[in-house]
Amino acid sequence: MVHYSKLLKIVIDVPPAEHDRELAFWSAATGQPLAQFDRHPEYHGAALHGQDLWLLIQRLDEGQGRVHIDIHTDDPAADMARLEKLGAELVQQAHSWQVMRDPAGLLFCIIPERPGTLNDTNAQRWD
């Protein structure tokens, strides 16, 4: 089945003790405010000026800092199956997205996108 996906976000995962300092740093480093999300207050972020890419700062409940990417897709099941064939594995379901691990052990997320928002002009088509 035809579906679309695109790498849309870089997410910096930060322990609680480092969160405010990291948020201030990346806001200053990018030159723009990183607003808190209403539905998920553990996230602050914004689209980066002049790019089709977002930067998010995620406050972790526990664990060490790391960076991960978010892949947005109009068919999460199809994209998960495609990526599993390439060697990824599902770690857990979180909210409406799936946390996966790539072959090197690095985390990334598959995020559902509203139908019709991804197409040949703004995303990768998978047949």
pLDDT at residue 95, as a whole number: 87
Q: Give all strands (DSSP E) within 3-113, no chain letters.
A: 3-14, 35-36, 43-47, 54-59, 66-73, 89-94, 97-101, 107-112
Q: What percent of the chain has pLDDT over 70?
A: 100
User: Measured between alpha carbons, how far is 4 from 111 in angstroms, rounded to an integer?
Assistant: 12
CA nearest neighbour of 60 among 9, 21, 14: 14
Find out whether 61 and 16 touch, Cβ atoms under 8 Å: yes
One CATH from 3.40.190.10, 3.20.20.70, 3.10.180.10, 3.40.50.1370 for 1-6+69-127: 3.10.180.10
Q: How confident is the model at residue 50 (pLDDT cuts 50, 70, 90)?
A: confident
pLDDT at residue 32, as a whole number: 92
> Is pLDDT of 1 > 90?
no
Q: How confident is the model at residue 8 (pLDDT cuts 50, 70, 90)?
A: very high
Q: Per residue in 70-126, pLDDT tens?
A: 999 999 999 999 999 999 999 999 989 999 999 999 999 999 999 999 999 999 999
User: Measured between alpha carbons, how far is 106 from 91 in angstroms, rounded to an integer?
Assistant: 11
User: Measured between alpha carbons, how far is 22 from 3 in angstroms, rounded to an integer?
Assistant: 36
Helix or strand or coil: residue 75?
coil
Q: Where are the domains of the chain?
A: 1-6+69-127
